[in-house]
Structure 1
Amino acid sequence: MDDSFRAESRAWLQAHLGDEPPAPREWERRLGEGGWIGLGWPEPGYGNRTATLAQQIVWAEEYARSRAPARLGHIGENLLGPTLIAHGSPEQKARFLGPVARGEEIWCQGYSEPGAGSDLAGVATAAVRDGDGYRVTGQKIWTSFAHEANWCFALVRTDPGAARHRGLSFLLIPMDQPGLIEIRPIRQMTGTSEFNEVFFDGARALAAHLVGGEGNGWRVAMSLLALERGVSTLVQQIGFAEELAEVVRTAVASGAAGDPVLRDRLVRQWAELRTMRWNALRTLGGGGDTGAPSVAKLLWAGWHQRLGELAMAVRGPVAATGPYDWSEHRPYELDPVQRMFLFSRADTIYGGSDEIQREIIAERVLGLSREPR
């Protein structure tokens, strides 16, 4: 069964990936037409196929190996979809799951704020009841794909008098509200702008689009955060393996592999990646291990940072230089290795900083006392 599913997955990808990479939104629609969005959803009927866990892994592996485009719809499929299936009303599922599965609507995640990054209980963006909806005012930051998204699911404060997480709610907000929502891209060291600042100035959201009920946002948000690990971790590791293989090829071609210290670092990176894969496979079946997502995040974030450092060390001084167009006086563009090194500096911060992951393990797994606030 899985062999035939692998063959079908591979054939579909080969048939739909042309010489020129498709535009991100067009690619989402192609995936939706093929039924490839929402494989992990337990509920069919939204235009998605359903697949076993093994088949989900097969699809993820073939997708990564085909070098298919990075997914614009990842947040809607892998975060919002399962959250609505677990906590959403029948009306919310009917309204939102189909457009995600068809690749028609793109989502972003409104969690972090300038004063509440990893400390989500400190969220200050306010949602005030106004008739049959809410008016949302505040700021979110590091919001991936906000400049492309049709919708944002946001953690907002609906009860300013409640203590920290007790006053939070999980609200679905339409992004097409000129004058009420402003999006400012954040330019990074790599020169790219995947992340954004989002400013809400009385933006409108319907009360019917409050997920889990008012005041229950913390419970819904924590459930969603656990979904950020899982099958997608295996996809990520396949990408890591490709990056490591390129570093090894460079080391062999340049002769850097002859350095025993660098050779030892290369072997260590390979061994650690294999260990991460086995750990990810071990935890896919669930089992209530509350620390597993935090352990996985700590493992891959540190590993990827060390890979970026190793890639630069293997290339030597030339890694810090690049072509410069003197006729046009244009600065050189970063090559993939340089971009990987610079972007990896943030690995231990985004998606939950290392400090927060260690705190979760200490308090929820080891039962140690909470840090003073």
Structure 2
Amino acid sequence: MDLDVFVTAHRAEWDRLEQLLGRGRRLTGAEADELVALYQRASTHLSLIQSSTPDAVLTGRLTQLVARARATVTGTRRAGWRDAARFFTSAFPAAVYLSRRWWIPTAVLSTLLGVLIGWWVAMNPEVQASIAAPEELRAMTEPGGGYEAYYSSHPAASFAAQVWTNNAQAAAVCLVAGAFLGLPVLWILFLNMANLGVGLGLMASAGRLDVFLGLILPHGLLELTAVFVAAGTGLRLGWTVIDPGPRTRRAALAEQGRAALGMAVGLAAVLFVSGLIEGFVTPSGLPTWARIAIGVAAEAVFLAYVYVLGGRAARAGEVGDVEAADRTASLPTAA
């Protein structure tokens, strides 16, 4: 596309749109119809320029013009309870549901890795010796030792807040790091599974695997699921950089990036629940079966939330992105 010819052909329309937007009085019916038509054309022009011959100055002018026109045509609105309700009942569960082909394999492979590391540590005394001295290992694995004391070393409320903050930060890093082809996400996953595997292996070698699982499972099921969802979403974002599909790379990354940011908010809420369980249920005096049952119930509720609400919303066309009226106008792209 010849940019100079394109600008010459459409400059008068852009100037007229700017003139209509700059008026201090109410528009007549005919002027309002003209403004809507010019806004739609300018949106199409902006999309064409961005996808074919991007020019920073012209793109900047049209972006500002289209944004002003959109605000005039659709009216400004503020986020409210309706937006929050839509997010938690539709957008967030749909986004998790649609990314299940990424986070479910991530969960399965990561869990297998953690189990393998645990088996390797448990079966090899020399590996245990490389982790810590024998007396330090005993201090970690004995009754009331490091692994058990960890969950009761601080008041429940402050411990829950600390756990939630740390896990929410880890999930956010997984989501953001996906833009770097997903490589940092794989490293974060490995570190998490290595830490889990070492704990499994050391407690199993001490004959106290049941105690360790009783401490991990109540909160760990939901917590690890949230981490796997974040990691899977990050990997999906990284793959979008490599293969954006039928959309332009910019449009694909914008859509996946907005969904990932929304996912960070939703997962923070999920991790808040797991933090409460870790702070108040895991160190409680409840029987082990009761604590594990609470963890299983929380996990079941989350999966039902994703597959029932999320699946229904996804089949209705929800993709976890912002509402159509708030997205940048773009042209369809042929595969």
Is the strand fraction higher in 1 or 2?
Answer: 1
TM interval, short-chain normalised: under 0.3
Q: What TM-score, normalized to structure 2? A: 0.25
Is the helix fraction higher in 1 or 2?
Answer: 2
The structure with the larger Rg is 2
